[in-house]
Amino acid sequence: MVKIKDLMDIEEILLKLDTLYRYEYSMDELIKSVKYMKEVGEITSLFFTVQMEYVQTYNKEPLEYQKFLMDGEVDLDISKYISFINSVKKMVKEKDIIELIDKINERHN
């Protein structure tokens, strides 16, 4: 089980890594990167889409609903995402990305 916040952090890491290191990835790493960004992105996109639908349906601010969604957990094994991120961490030079990776590792290892 994983919180949506963790998925958002994983997505942020994957996007930053892809932007900075896409052309340093092996073909296998590139395939995993694209696949994992798509998988995580579908979930985080649903998170934002359903909030917009909530506002349109109920004409209310989504803050309470957003908190409800953020506090809930998703039944998803994120070990493959974390494993991939850790496998390419050796390329990373940016302190902010390293700190975000370390934060995810602390919460899930």
pLDDT at position 65 is: 87
Burial of 40 (0-12, 13-18, 19+ CB in 10 A): buried
| Positions of the chain with pLDDT lower than 70, given as ranges | none
Q: CA–CA distance from 72 to each of 8, 36, 65, 89 (Å)?
A: 14, 21, 11, 29
> Over the chain, what is the mean pLDDT?
93
Give residue-wise pLDDT tens across range 73-99: 999 999 999 999 999 999 999 999 999
pLDDT at position 59 is: 86
pLDDT at position 19 is: 95
Give this prediction's pTM: 0.89
The residue segments making up the domain with residue 40 are 2-108
Q: How many domains does the chain have?
A: 1
